[in-house]
Structure 1
Amino acid sequence: MTIQRIGVMTSGGDAPGMNPAVRAVVRMASSLGLEVMGVERGFQGLMESAFKRLTVRDIGGLLSRGGTILQSARSEEFKTITGQRKAIHNLNAAAIDGLVIIGGNGTHQGAYELSRHGFPIVTIPSTIDNDLCFTDMTLGVDTALNTVLDAIDKIRDTASSLKRAFLIETMGRDSGYLALMSGIAGGAEVIVIPEAPMTLAQILEGIQAQYTLGKPHSIIVVAEGHRPSTQEIYEYLHAREQELGFTVRMTILGHIQRGGRPTAYERLLATRLAVAAVQNLHAGNYGVMVGLVGNKTQLTDLAQVATCHKKVDLDLYAMANMLEFGRAKTIPTPLPTPTASRRANFGEMRPKTTKEELPPEAF
Structure 2
Amino acid sequence: MKKIGVLTSGGDSPGMNAAVRAVVRKAIFHGLEVYGIYQGYKGLIDGHIEKLEVGSVGDIIHRGGTILYTARCEEFKTEEGRAIAIKQLEKFGIEGLVVIGGDGSFQGAVKLTELGFPTIGVPGTIDNDIPGTDWTIGFDTALNTVIDAIDKIRDTATSHERQFIIEVMGRNAGDIALWSGVADGAESILIPEDTSTIDDVVNRIEQGKQRGKEHSIIIVAEGVGTASDVAAAIKEKTDIDTRVTVLGHIQRGGSPTALDRVLASRLGAKAVELLIEGQQGRMVGIQENKIVHHDILDVLTKKHEICKDMISLAKELSI
* TM bin (shorter chain): over 0.9
Helix, strand or coil: the match of 2:318?
Answer: helix
Say whether residues 1:109 and 2:103 are aligned partners.
no
Higher relative contact order (CA 8 A, sep 6+): 2
Aligned to 1:17: 15
Q: What amino acid does structure 2 have at the position aligned with 1:237?
A: I
Whether the 8 Å CA contact 1:176–1:223 is kept in 2: the answer is: yes
Aligned to 1:311: 305
Distance across 2 between alignment mates of 1:70 and 1:298? 25
Determine which of 232, 235, 243 is the counterpart of 1:235.
232
Cα distance, 1:314 vs structure 2: 2.1
Please list every run of at least 4 consecutive aligned residues from structure 1 whose deviation after the TM superposition is greater than 6 angstroms.
none
Distance across 2 between alignment mates of 1:148 and 1:215? 23
Distance across 1 between alignment mates of 2:164 and 2:316? 21
Say whether residues 1:207 and 2:205 are aligned partners.
yes
Q: What amino acid does structure 1 have at the position aligned with 2:28?
A: S
Distance across 2 between alignment mates of 1:282 and 1:213? 63
Whether the 8 Å CA contact 1:287–1:301 is kept in 2: the answer is: yes
Say whether residues 1:217 and 2:215 are aligned partners.
yes
Cα distance, 1:147 vs structure 2: 0.2
Aligned to 2:62: 64
Distance across 2 between alignment mates of 1:241 and 1:53? 61
Cα distance, 1:239 vs structure 2: 4.6
Distance across 2 between alignment mates of 1:201 and 1:306? 35
Following superposition of structure 1 onto structure 2, how do residues 190-339 of structure 1 map, counting pairs within 5 Å?
190-227=188-225, 229-239=226-236, 242=239, 244=240, 247-325=241-319
Cα distance, 1:212 vs structure 2: 1.9
Whether the 8 Å CA contact 2:177–2:221 is kept in 1: the answer is: yes
Cα distance, 1:303 vs structure 2: 1.2
Q: What amino acid does structure 2 have at the position aligned with 1:57?
A: G
Distance across 1 between alignment mates of 2:296 and 2:160? 51
Cα distance, 1:63 vs structure 2: 0.8
Determine which of 140, 143, 146 is the counterpart of 1:145.
143
Cα distance, 1:238 vs structure 2: 3.5
Distance across 2 between alignment mates of 1:52 and 1:171? 33
Q: What amino acid does structure 1 have at the position aligned with 2:233?
A: Y
Deviations 1:151-174 (A, max 9, x none): 010000111011011000000220
Helix, strand or coil: the match of 1:63?
Answer: coil
Distance across 2 between alignment mates of 1:53 and 1:96? 10
Whether the 8 Å CA contact 2:190–2:197 is kept in 1: the answer is: no
Distance across 1 between alignment mates of 2:5 and 2:209? 56
Distance across 1 between alignment mates of 2:177 and 2:274? 34
Helix, strand or coil: the match of 1:22?
Answer: helix
Whether the 8 Å CA contact 1:108–1:305 is kept in 2: the answer is: no
Distance across 1 between alignment mates of 2:162 and 2:215? 5
* Structure 2 segments unaligned to the other structure (5+ residues): none
Cα distance, 1:207 vs structure 2: 1.6
Cα distance, 1:134 vs structure 2: 0.4
Whether the 8 Å CA contact 1:112–1:306 is kept in 2: the answer is: no
Distance across 2 between alignment mates of 1:130 and 1:309? 12
Q: What amino acid does structure 1 have at the position aligned with 2:220?
A: V
Q: What amino acid does structure 2 have at the position aligned with 1:276?
A: K
| CA RMSD between the two structures | 1.3
User: What's the TM-score, normalizing by structure 1?
Assistant: 0.85
Helix, strand or coil: the match of 1:62?
Answer: coil
Q: What amino acid does structure 1 have at the position aligned with 2:106?
A: H
Whether the 8 Å CA contact 2:185–2:317 is kept in 1: the answer is: no
Whether the 8 Å CA contact 1:11–1:42 is kept in 2: the answer is: yes
Q: What amino acid does structure 2 have at the position aligned with 1:198?
A: S
Which stretch shifts more, 214-223 or 269-278? 214-223
Helix, strand or coil: the match of 1:82?
Answer: helix
Q: What amino acid does structure 1 have at the position aligned with 2:169?
A: M
Q: What amino acid does structure 2 have at the position aligned with 1:175?
A: A
Which stretch shifts more, 229-238 or 150-159? 229-238
User: What's the TM-score, normalizing by structure 2?
Assistant: 0.97
Q: Percent identity?
A: 49
Aligned to 1:49: 47
Following superposition of structure 1 onto structure 2, how do residues 162-177 of structure 1 map, counting pairs within 5 Å?
162-177=160-175
Helix, strand or coil: the match of 2:71?
Answer: coil
Helix, strand or coil: the match of 2:196?
Answer: coil
Aligned to 1:133: 131
Whether the 8 Å CA contact 1:14–1:72 is kept in 2: the answer is: yes
Cα distance, 1:213 vs structure 2: 2.8
Aligned to 1:338: none
Aligned to 1:121: 119
Cα distance, 1:254 vs structure 2: 0.1
Which stretch shifts more, 32-41 or 208-217? 208-217
Distance across 2 between alignment mates of 1:31 and 1:286? 21
* Structure 1 segments unaligned to the other structure (5+ residues): 326-363
Distance across 2 between alignment mates of 1:265 and 1:64? 12
Which stretch shifts more, 305-314 or 54-63? 305-314
